[in-house]
Structure formats: structure tokens, C-alpha cells
Structure 1
Amino acid sequence: DPNPMNKTEDIKLFLRGIPNSYSQVFFSDNRVFAIILLLVTFIDLYAGIMGLLSVITTNLAGFLLGFDRRILSKGMFGFNSLLVGLAMGVYFEPGILLILVVVLGAILTLLVSVSMQGVIGKYALPFLSIPFLVSVWIMTLATREFTELGISERGIYTFNDLYMIGGSTLVGLYEWWNALGIAQSVRIYLISLGAILFQYNILSGILLAIGLFYYSRISFTLSLLGFYTAFIFYELIGASISELSYSYIGFNYILTSIAVGGFFIIPSKRSYFWVLILIPLVALVTISMSRIFTVVGLPIYSLPFNIMVLLFLYALKFRTKPSTTLTEVFIQQNSPEKNLYSFHNHMVRFHQSDRLPIML
């Protein structure tokens, strides 16, 4: 484009798309929260680098291919790639080959995201993290044949890495964090939060909890509601809770709760009530899908969250009349608080006037 004004506008949109790709993981566009998320990914240095590389690749390719710049700048295509990059960065040894794999994964994720927006978007539904799932499963299965790509041993050697970066002080700090006498459920909650960004440590969880609280009190309370509902349900059915912490699937409950309780639906007593109903269903899907996926040796990642949220949101579209107690968000403001405020304003101004059903 020869117009220099458009060029600067493009660069601005491109740069805005980078932090937004991080905050979008939690349905947010809050800049401070985005910076916290970015920093947390760098707790595992190589994972952080691969995540960032993935986001930049996707957004750059998106601009070059001429996809909607506004959607790109909101991080809507970037956040799935971020997750794929982080997954690859955590599982494999850093090197030139890994960089190539991450770049390819980012482009694949972009294409899946755009296609999903076409397919699922037709029904006015969000594609959530389906593009991440499709790509990460393809990459996970394919890379098993890549004999030159070394499996990362950083998890085992975290102490060595920490020692290299910050000497014994850092190792001490890390041990102190992880040995904090926190109740087991709180530990699992924090690790589950960190696991959303493939950071399986307490420190990441604490930083994310603070960021989530800062961005939205409603989202923060919902994250606890979702997690503890699942926790209690696991106890009731006699399923092992340590499994919840072991396979790091606890974040499915956290994300489902935020999505249904206050993001895609206006926060209300009724939305919280439905979180209590849906979370045990997410647990059932999690347990059943885990059985199936173990056969092919794939983690289920965020599949249960995607299945239940899409099922619920799609089903709500078949209600015969608009509800004022369980209302879908029509104009998304990327914050449960703002959505609630707009909804109240609308109700006060228009006295809950029923929309006229117009058949076209």
C-alpha cells in the first residue's frame, strides 16, 4: 500500500496484536494483564521465546495474507498460536529445527483459526481454542517421527537451568515458592492456572491469579467457583484429585466457568447456577475423553472446555424467547464487568422491551 498513513496504522495494529494475543487466552484485552501473561510464559525461557515467535509469525502471516486487521490486532488469531508455540517450546529442546517447527505450527494454526471463524462463526459462535487443539495434535503426532528434534529435559533439570540463570539465590527462591505450606487444593488451583500457559509451577499460578483479579473480579471469582465445583465433584465420585493436578486438566474447569459464567453470558445468579451444573459435565467429558485419547497417546488439553462451552452456547440459540436472566452477550467488550454494565444500561433505558421477532 503506497499510502504512508496506512503503513503506520498497520504497524500500530500489528504491534497491538502481540500483547492482545496473550490476554485473549483469558478472553481479555487488558494491557497490564497481557504483560503479566507475557512475563509468566518467560518463566520457562525457551517456551516464552517460542510462544512469542509463534504469535509474531501468525500475526505477520495474517497481515501479509490480507486477513481482517482488526481481528488480528485483537489477538483473535494469535492466541491459539501462542498456545501451540508454548506447547512446542516446553516439550522440545531449543534449536534451529524447533524454530522451523514452531513457525510451521503457527502458520497451520492461523489457517485453522481463519477457517474455524468461517465454519463455527456462521452460527455466531466463538472458535475458542479449537485451532490450538487441531494444530497441537497434528504437530504432536507428526514430531514423533522427527528423530532430529530432541525431547526437552528441562522439567527434570529445572534446578540446573535456574542455577545457570540466577545462581543459588534463584534456586532457593524457587524451592521456597514450591514448598509454601499452601493447602493442597490451592496448590492445584494455582498449578492449573499456570498450566493454561504450560507453566506447571506455583509462581506462575500466583502471578496469573493476581493478573486475573486485576483484570476482572468477576472472572477471578468464577475461576475459583469452577475449580472448586470440580474439586468437590471429584471427591464425590471418588475420582482421584491428584490426577487433577497430575494431568493438569484443572484449567478446563476454570476456563469453562469464566466463559459461561460471565464472558459469553451476562454475569448473573443464573449464569453462576449454570456453571455449577456444567462443571460436573465438563468433568464427565474430561474423564471419558482421557480414556479415548490415552489410546492414541495424546493429551486432551482444552478439549472438554471447548465441547461444553460450544454445546451450551449453541443450545441457547434455540430458546423460543429472549431471556433477561440468562442473556447472551451481543456486543463483546472483553470484560464481564463492562458487559454487565452495558446490559444494565440497556435494560434501564429500554425497559426490557422485548425484541420483535422479525422473520426474514
Structure 2
Amino acid sequence: MKVNLQSNQRLAQKEITLEEQKHLKTVNNLILKKLRSFWGYFRTIANSYSEIFFFENFWLGLLLLAATFIYPNIGLSGLLCVLAAYEFARFLGLKKIFRGSGFYTYNPLLVGLSIGYLFKLSFFSFFLIVAAGILTFIVTFGLANIFYSFFRLPVLNIPFVLISTAIYLASYKYSNLLFSEFKPWWPFLTDIADHLPIWLLGLTQSLGALLFCPHFIGGLIFLTVIFFASRILFILAVGGYFLGLLILSFLEGSIYQAASNLGAFNFSLIAMAIGGVFLIPSPRSYVLAALSVAISPFLLDAATFFWAQYGIPSFTLPFNVVVLSLLYTLGLAGFPLLASYYRGSPERTLDHYLSYLARFPGTLRTLSLPVAGEWTVWQSFDGPWTHKGIWRYAVDFVITDDQGRTYRGEGAHLDDYYCFGKPVLSPVRGRVVSLANDIEDNPPGAVNETQNWGNYVLIYDERGFYVLLAHLRKGSVKVKEGQWIEQGQIIGQCGSSGYSPQPHLHVQVQLTPELGAPTQPFSFVHYAVLKDTDLIYKANDIPEEGEQVQGLYPDKAMENMMSLVLDQEIIFEFLVNDVPQKQVNFKVQMDTDGTYYLAENHNSLYFNKFEGTFYFLRQDGNAVWFRMLFLAFPRMPLVYQKGLIWEDFLPLETFYSRLKRALYTFLASFNHRLAEIKGIYKFSAPNRIEGKIAQGGEEIKTQVILDPLKGFVQEVTLISNDKKFSLRRVL
């Protein structure tokens, strides 16, 4: 009885301990959730300051915030206005639109700074600041959506110009609130300013005036912040200012008068926006930035003269007019270097753009190979014979032997040609629009000039295009008009009908159902190129003339293995030289655009599966484990073939240290080829991928062990500079 009592007591104590542990875990989770919420809150506030200079950086944003307190009245007014806008957005339930970004709050910040420049801080001006912050957020949120929906344009500083102009006009009625004098915290700084050269004083005071701190110390702080945030933005800001200053001094006849114009910060903003933010940094974007600055001085003087009639500054009106007009024009013209996705700095945007171009050379009009087995490309895009002009986007296929010949013997008969009579497969799923099946095949060397396409099948793909397969064998077509067919279904046989001097298969994509319609770019997915003894995987590309290709078919088991489920948690152990460092917990989440990503604290690794290939798309944050995954298999074919090799081009941020990355990205803005980093990967076993990345004397070897039971990855290893980094699956 006593033994049972003691046993029950021990069980009760154990239950209490477990209950306490569970409660403690819940409390810790709540505290962690609150801390993350506060961190997101402070990130949004700090990024409101950095967004004005076109970048997002929490610590540099805090430095900009501190710099505005050179004039305490101005700094406090700006901060209060941002807080008012943010809290109003939270009240409306719009907290999720921020996600640490200051996009919707930098206009309220500018309005708050402008109020602090005009009015002394008091109970009444506090009310005005809060009201202006709320109103500016409403206008920003509304205009941002209108501008993007109808014009595909950013809202820039237009809400700030509108609201600040209204407040300055109304200020004639609020004379009891006006602030009569501004003094920085350190009066001796004014004496230093008197000894600075006019060009440096003008630059710093002008940049300082953007945040309503027209003091050289404020400008120096802003210049320093811009330099650390982005060397490209720094060069553009300084170069844009001096180019605009030079032109303005010619127009006004005095460099001193031009340098004293505090509105000259518009030159820097225009250069930064055009040269490195809304366009991909390149020699062409720099030329456009210079031209944009060159046409802006008279707009600055005109706006200053007009607004001066009412006793108010022109703010950023010239910047908004020039940038929005140019961006709209470039959009209408289809300018190829418009940045579709800005990643927080010109360097990261350029890196993402260049790696994206190299990694995804294909199109969204994707076809599978219309043949089985090994075939050779006879003509590709812009081929030497018939693929010219409006028919330039087409591919012809034949079969060749070891000597590169397309026939056996003398090739006098159609049956001598290796591809004659071979099955032709549908490269898409869709509906048969039209076909021909009764045209005679030409004897070798002869062509049918009146029925150019010969026997053909035209298929409509519901993605909005037509696929034409031509020169089929007479009587071999196995489908009917109006029939729905699936990808890979046999539709006929390769022949030599129409304008075909020898048996071959012609494939093209067009936007209308007429025969002979202009061709459009397309690409083939999930195939391999045979080169010597290697089998090289191509995810989405166009084979070149003379290449031997063969179709691949996705493995369902591998597709399932790489299917990560929303909210799935994966736990890895991170090791350095086989010594455990910490456990990291990944969670599968979905972004607003439907893209899935692995999340770990504030770090993200985006991924996708497309046409038989698994991709890592991009990395946000600096987590070493996400960098390891990206380097180890940036893409992976969802099919195993022994010795299958593929290559991929990696972003600079995944390979180089921060200092080297900054240098290479800056240089790459002048020559895009400098950003090329290639990795080569292969299947060394059904569940094992080995890779090597070499660039500029640096080399990284990688190994991935896939997990067919749990799915995804069992282990990832990187060896760099005799140092081994590993991720081992725990759960």
C-alpha cells in the first residue's frame, strides 16, 4: 500500500512537471510571437526612412531617423506622422500589407517632416500631424493601387506633394503655429559650414533638404547611409546632382545661385530612380538617367517660380513628373530593361535579373519534344535555309547515324531515311483545329511548292497559342479535327510531304489558326542533349542546330518526393566540420502571389516545380542553411538517368562574400557578363546529386542526399576552403 502511494505521488509530480513544461512552452511561444511583432513594427518604421532613398535596411533606416533629429522639432514630427499612419492601417486590419516594408509609410513620413519644418510642436500641431498622417496613408494606399492597376506605375512621392501643398496653403490660417527659427543641437556646426566649398555645401544641404534638414551634417549622414546601402545609388546620387547643378548654373548664369537651390535634390532622386531602381542598372539605364536629369532643371525652376507665388516649396514635383512620364513611355515602348521586381537595392535587383536570364532562357510557350528516342536538330531558330523572316521561330528534326548522315546507303528512297515513318507525338495538350492527310510524300531531293506544309496537324493550346507539326507522312495522321488530344499522344508519322527535300519534322508556334501565320518564340522542356558521352539535361530551352536530343519523362515518385505541403515543418541540424552548431526549423509557407517558400525566422527560400523540374527561385535574408540548399541544387530534374548532367547559373549573393559581391555587382552594372557564376551538377546515384561551382579561383563542392521516405532532402554537404558545412535531417 505504501509502495503504491509513493508511486502515485511520483506520477502526480511527473504530471505536474509536464504540465509546467507545457505551460512554460506556451508562455515562451507567446513572448516570442510578441517579440517578432515588435521587430516587424520597428522594421516598418525604420524602413519608412530608408524607402525615401530607394532601399530597405533596418539599421541604416534607424541612422536616417536619428539624423532627422538634428532639428528635434522636425525629427519628432516625422516620427509621429509615421506612427499615426501605421496605427491607422493596423486599425483597418491592413497590418499584413507592410511585412516590414516602409512602402506605404514613407509618404506620411515626408509629410510629417514638412509639418515639423513649418510648425512648432504643440498640442494643436500634434493633432495636425496625426490627421495628416492618416490622410496621407489613405491617399497613398488609394493612389498606389490606381497607378499600378491602370498605368503599371509606382505612386512615388505624389501623396506627399499633394498633402504637403495643401497643408502649406492652409498654414496662412494657422499663424499661431508657425515656427520662427531653426537651430541644430550643435550651434558650432554652422561655423564649419561657412568654410566648406560651395559644391560640397550645396550637395549636402540639398540632400539634407529632402528630409527637411537643410544642414550639411544631415546631408553627409544621408550620403554615408546611401553609400553603405548601395554603391550604385551613391554614384547616381552624386553624379545626378552635379550634372543637374552644371546645367542649372549654365541656365541661371551663376553656380552660387544654382548651388543654393535646395530643390536640387530632385536631380539626385531622378538619377537614382531611373539609373538604378526602376530600370536594371546598365550603361543604357545610366544614359537614360543622365538624359532625365538634363531635362529636369527648367522644370525645377518653373515649379519653384510657380509655387513661390503661394509661398511654398515645389517639394519633389519635378522628380515625380520626369520619372513617371519616362517610365510610362518606356512601358509603352516595351523597353527590355524595366525592372519587374525590385529587391531592395540596385545591386540585388541586378543580380536577380542576370541570374534569372541565365537560369531561365526559355519561354512560357512550352512544348515537350514531339518525338521519342534520339533525334538531331536540322534547323533551329533563324535557320540557314527556310527559317527566316516571319517563319524564323521554328525547329526541324531528323535522325542521324554515327557519321551524321540522315539516311542509309545512297538515300535514293524515302525508306532509306532513318526518320521516315517514325511516330510523331503531340507536344502539348489541346484541340485539333485543322489537318491534312492526303498529300503525297516527295521523293528525296524534290519539293511540293504549291502545298508548302504538306500533311500537317494544327493544335490549339488553351494557354493561347497554336502548334503546327508539318511534313507528315501521307495517310499516317491518327487524329481528327475537333478532337482533344493529350501531351505525348501519337498523332502521325514523320514524312516528306510539302516543301520538304528529305523526310523531317517541322514544329512551330503561332498565334492564329491560318497556315503560314507568323511564328512566335517557344521552347522545349524536360529533354536531354547528347554531347560526346555526356547526357546534358535541359529544363526549358531551344536546342541548337546539329544537337542530338532525346525526350525525358518526369518520374512520379521523384515529383512526389519534392512535393512540399503548406505548413509542413522540416527540422535540420547544422554542422561545421561535423561539429553540431544548432537546429534549424523550416516551415513551408505561401506568398501572396501563390509562390511557396521555406521560412525560418525572417529568412525565406522560394521554390517551385515547373514542367518536370524543381527550382529554388530566390533567397531573402542571409541564412547560411538556405544558401547551402540553393548552392547544392538550384534546380533538379524530376527524373533519374545515370550520369545525367545539368548546369545552372547562380546569383552572386549565394556565392561571394558581401565585399566581393558588392564589387562584382557594381562592375557587372557596366558589363553584365561579369556576374556569371556557373554550377555543374549530376546524378551520381538515384538519390544522390554531386556538384561543383568554380569562379575566380574559388571552388565549392556540393553533395545532396535525397530522402525518398520522408520526402525532400536527407543531407546537404558543402566543402569550401577546406571547411565542411552540413545540414542533416532530424525530422
- TM-score, normalised to structure 1's length? 0.87
Aligned counterparts of 1:354 and 1:71: Cα–Cα separation in 2: 32
The answer to whether the aligner puts 1:124 opposite 2:152 as a matched pair is: yes
Contact 1:256 1:279 in 2 (8 A): yes
Contact 1:177 1:203 in 2 (8 A): no
Aligned counterparts of 1:8 and 1:64: Cα–Cα separation in 2: 20
Q: Which amino acid aligns with 2:343?
A: Q
In the TM superposition, residue 135 of structure 1 has moved relative to its aligned partner by: 0.7
Q: Where does the alignment leave 5 or more consecutive residues of structure 2 unmatched?
A: 1-28, 366-462, 466-510, 512-731
Give the aligned partner of residue 358 of structure 2. Answer: 348
Give the aligned partner of residue 403 of structure 2. Answer: none
Give the aligned partner of residue 271 of structure 1. Answer: 285
Q: Map Cα deviations across residues 91-112 of structure 1 (whole Å, 9 max, x no partner).
A: 1122111111111111111111
In the TM superposition, residue 278 of structure 1 has moved relative to its aligned partner by: 0.8
Aligned counterparts of 2:108 and 2:136: Cα–Cα separation in 1: 6
Detail structure 1 runs of 4+ shifted over 6 Å in the superposition.
3-8, 354-360
The answer to whether the aligner puts 1:36 opposite 2:63 as a matched pair is: yes
Aligned counterparts of 1:331 and 1:68: Cα–Cα separation in 2: 22
In the TM superposition, residue 298 of structure 1 has moved relative to its aligned partner by: 2.5
Aligned counterparts of 2:210 and 2:308: Cα–Cα separation in 1: 20
Contact 2:249 2:257 in 1 (8 A): no
Contact 1:253 1:279 in 2 (8 A): yes
Q: Map Cα deviations across residues 8-66 of structure 1 (whole Å, 9 max, x no partner).
A: 66544333211011111111111222022111100001111111111111011011112
Identify the match of residue 229 of structure 2 among 192, 211, 215: 215
Aligned counterparts of 2:90 and 2:237: Cα–Cα separation in 1: 34
Aligned counterparts of 1:213 and 1:252: Cα–Cα separation in 2: 18
Contact 2:169 2:310 in 1 (8 A): no
Identify the match of residue 47 of structure 2 among 20, 23, 26: 20
In the TM superposition, residue 237 of structure 1 has moved relative to its aligned partner by: 2.4
Aligned counterparts of 2:268 and 2:193: Cα–Cα separation in 1: 21
In the TM superposition, residue 286 of structure 1 has moved relative to its aligned partner by: 1.1
- Higher helix content, 1 or 2: 1
Give the aligned partner of residue 138 of structure 1. Answer: 166
Give the aligned partner of residue 335 of structure 1. Answer: 345
Calculate the aligned-residue CA RMSD, in Å. Answer: 2.4
Q: Which has the higher contact order (CA 8 A, sep 6+)?
A: 1
Q: Map Cα deviations across residues 195-246 of structure 1 (whole Å, 9 max, x no partner).
A: 1111111111111111110000000000011101111112332444444443
SS of 2:262's equivalent in the other structure is coil
Give the aligned partner of residue 167 of structure 1. Answer: none
In the TM superposition, residue 86 of structure 1 has moved relative to its aligned partner by: 0.8
Change (3 A) 1:16 1:355: same
Q: Map Cα deviations across residues 80-139 of structure 1 (whole Å, 9 max, x no partner).
A: 111111111121122111111111111111111011112112122111111111110111
Aligned counterparts of 1:295 and 1:358: Cα–Cα separation in 2: 56
Q: Map Cα deviations across residues 294-352 of structure 1 (whole Å, 9 max, x no partner).
A: 233331110000011100111111125x52xxx1111210100001111111222234x
Larger CA Rg, structure 1 vs 2: 2
In the TM superposition, residue 7 of structure 1 has moved relative to its aligned partner by: 6.8
Contact 2:246 2:255 in 1 (8 A): no
SS of 1:250's equivalent in the other structure is helix
Give the aligned partner of residue 178 of structure 1. Answer: 193
The answer to whether the aligner puts 1:63 opposite 2:90 as a matched pair is: yes
Q: Where does the alignment leave 5 or more consecutive residues of structure 1 unmatched?
A: 163-169
Identify the match of residue 148 of structure 1 among 176, 180, 184: 176
Give the aligned partner of residue 237 of structure 1. Answer: 251
Q: Which amino acid aligns with 1:105?
A: A
Aligned counterparts of 1:208 and 1:273: Cα–Cα separation in 2: 25
Structure 1 residues 280-291: aligned runs within 5 Å: 280-291=294-305
Contact 2:198 2:259 in 1 (8 A): no
Contact 1:112 1:131 in 2 (8 A): yes
Aligned counterparts of 1:203 and 1:246: Cα–Cα separation in 2: 16
Give the aligned partner of residue 257 of structure 1. Answer: 271
In the TM superposition, residue 355 of structure 1 has moved relative to its aligned partner by: 6.9
Change (3 A) 1:111 1:171: same
Give the aligned partner of residue 165 of structure 1. Answer: none
Give the aligned partner of residue 214 of structure 2. Answer: 200
Change (3 A) 1:313 1:6: farther
Q: Which amino acid aligns with 1:138?
A: A
Aligned counterparts of 2:286 and 2:363: Cα–Cα separation in 1: 24
Contact 1:177 1:202 in 2 (8 A): no
- Higher strand content, 1 or 2: 2
SS of 2:98's equivalent in the other structure is helix
Q: Map Cα deviations across residues 241-264 of structure 1 (whole Å, 9 max, x no partner).
A: 444443411110001100000011
Q: Map Cα deviations across residues 122-157 of structure 1 (whole Å, 9 max, x no partner).
A: 1221111111111101111112112432x21223xx
- TM-score, normalised to structure 2's length? 0.44
The alignment-based identity, stated in percent, is 27
Q: Which amino acid aligns with 1:337?
A: E
SS of 2:291's equivalent in the other structure is helix
SS of 1:144's equivalent in the other structure is helix
Give the aligned partner of residue 201 of structure 2. Answer: 187
SS of 1:148's equivalent in the other structure is helix
Contact 1:50 1:85 in 2 (8 A): yes
SS of 2:154's equivalent in the other structure is coil
Q: Which amino acid aligns with 1:275?
A: A
The count of residues paired between Structure 1 and Structure 2 equals 339
